[in-house]
Amino acid sequence: MFYAINKILGKWMPVVTPLSVVSGVVLAEHLYSFAFIVPWLFAVMTFVGSLNSNFRMLHNTISSPFPIFLALIILHIITPLWAWLIGNIVFPDDPLTVTGFTLALVIPTGITSVVWVTLYKGSVPLALVIILIDTMLSPIVVPFSMSILAGSKVEMNAADMIAGLFWMIVFPSLLGMIVNEAVKEEKARQFSQLLSPFSRLALPVVIAINSAVVAPYFRHMDLKFIQILLTILFVVLCGYLLSWGLANLFKQSRENIVALIYTGGMRNISAGAVIAVNFFPPQAAVPVVICMLFQQMLAAFHGYLLTKVYRHQTEA
């Protein structure tokens, strides 16, 4: 029964995701107050995603560091430069909007990427290592990158970020791997299948609550807002496609390709929105917040593409 539910939820995730975003925007006043449960839901989803991993797999991932370096280059060199370039082409006389585009692509990879990697059978250990390393480096990398690309200096509370990372990612990941080591691998897989439907149901809830933040920005829609909307959609789409293309170029395994697509394409937009609102004028914050609209939709879309591409390869 749980396997059937899990399969149905996986099939309909590309539809559920945009509906969750729309629900979050429409019901913003009711959902915004539930933001406190998001870290807990993240922790549960990370735990479920880690049940199929163990310390041996983690060691093997770190001992082959090339995919990790590739992900960091995508995250903090290729896609931020691309966002900065597109921003300057489309908005040449609006440095604040360009700053917003740059910030949206320079913040650390999204925590929810590990959930999508799990859903589409990618390398969870690789995704977790990339998230851990990237988030730990972010207090240094983000201010430096913004200083170079946007001429701005950003202060970040490293202690709060590391504490949040520990409870949302590190602790549940370690707990999941400890459970995997403590029981037989087959038993851990059964636990994962049993809990996976709850994890998949938690993801739309997280998306809806985070999307509630976007609602105020839709009250004054004009031509420029629509232009920003379409441009950030293009930039975020390119992030996913560049990650997929480079992973294929360097002949990575299917599992690594899935991990690189989602860690390279997704960003921790919740953290990015906080940084944008606190350290930049509202105009610079708009592209970052709008990015939340498309990130999860494009994640679901690329999951659909992955299913089609690798199913055809398997049949061939």
> Distances in Å between the alpha carbon of 204 and those of 38, 116, 210?
11, 12, 10
So what's the pLDDT on residue 51? 81
Whole-number mean pLDDT of the chain?
81
So what's the pLDDT on residue 243? 95
Within-domain flag for 215: no
Q: pLDDT (tens digit, 9 = 90+) per residue, 103-147?
A: 889 888 877 788 889 888 898 889 988 887 887 787 788 888 887
Cα–Cα–Cα angle for 56, 50, 40, nearest 5°?
145
Within-domain flag for 216: no
Asked if the model's pLDDT at residue 100 lies above 80, the reply is yes
Quick check: 213 and 275 in contact, CB under 8 A?
Answer: no
Within-domain flag for 33: yes
Distance CA 316, CA 308 (A): 12
> Distances in Å between the alpha carbon of 5 and those of 51, 199, 201, 248?
19, 12, 10, 32
Closest listed residue to residue 146, CA positions, set 295, 275, 316: 275
Distance CA 232, CA 294 (A): 8
Within-domain flag for 316: no
Q: What is the dihedral of CA 250, 251, 252, 255, to 10 degrees?
A: 140
Contacts of 235 (CB under 8 A, 6+ apart): 79, 82, 83, 86, 87, 101, 104, 105
So what's the pLDDT on residue 66? 94
- How many distinct structural domains can be found in the chain? 1
Quick check: 104 and 287 in contact, CB under 8 A?
Answer: yes
Asked if the model's pLDDT at residue 152 lies above 60, the reply is no
Q: What is the 3-state secondary structure (H, E, C) of the chain?
A: CHHHHHHHHHHHHHHHHHHHHHHHHHCHHHHHHHHHHHHHHHHHHHHHHHCCCCHHHHHHHHHCCHHHHHHHHHHHHHHHHHHHHHHHHHCCCCHHHHHHHHHHHHCCCCCCHHHHHHHCCCCHHHHHHHHHHHHHHHHHHHHHHHHHHCCCCCCCCHHHHHHHHHHHHHHHHHHHHHHHHHCCHHHHHHHHHHHHHHHHHHHHHHHHHHHHHHHHHHCCCCHHHHHHHHHHHHHHHHHHHHHHHHHHHCCCCHHHHHHHHHHHHCCCHHHHHHHHHHHCCHHHHHHHHHHHHHHHHHHHHHHHHHHHHHHHHHHC
The token pair at 31 is 């959902």
Q: pLDDT (tens digit, 9 = 90+) per residue, 167-198?
A: 877 788 788 888 888 887 778 777 877 787 77
Q: How far is CA 41 from the centre of its chain?
A: 15
Which of the four pLDDT bands, split at 50, 70 and 90, describes residue 151? low
Quick check: 125 and 263 in contact, CB under 8 A?
Answer: no
Distance CA 196, CA 201 (A): 9
So what's the pLDDT on residue 265? 92
pLDDT (mean) for 216-245: 87
So what's the pLDDT on residue 157? 60
Within-domain flag for 141: yes
Q: pLDDT (tens digit, 9 = 90+) per residue, 49-88?
A: 778 777 777 777 788 899 999 999 999 999 999 999 999 9
- Global pTM reads 0.76
Estimate the crossing angle of helix 171-182 against helix 38-50, to 10 degrees: 30
Asked if the model's pLDDT at residue 8 lies above 60, the reply is yes
What is the domain range of residue 282? 2-210+221-311
So what's the pLDDT on residue 165? 67
Distance CA 219, CA 305 (A): 34
Q: pLDDT (tens digit, 9 = 90+) per residue, 236-290?
A: 999 999 999 999 999 999 999 999 999 999 987 766 776 776 677 767 778 887 8
Domain holding 166: CATH number?
1.20.1530.20
Quick check: 286 and 114 in contact, CB under 8 A?
Answer: no
So what's the pLDDT on residue 35? 78
Within-domain flag for 276: yes
187 vs 232 pLDDT, higher one: 232
Distance CA 84, CA 52 (A): 38
Which of the four pLDDT bands, split at 50, 70 and 90, describes residue 10? low
198 vs 94 pLDDT, higher one: 94
Within-domain flag for 196: yes
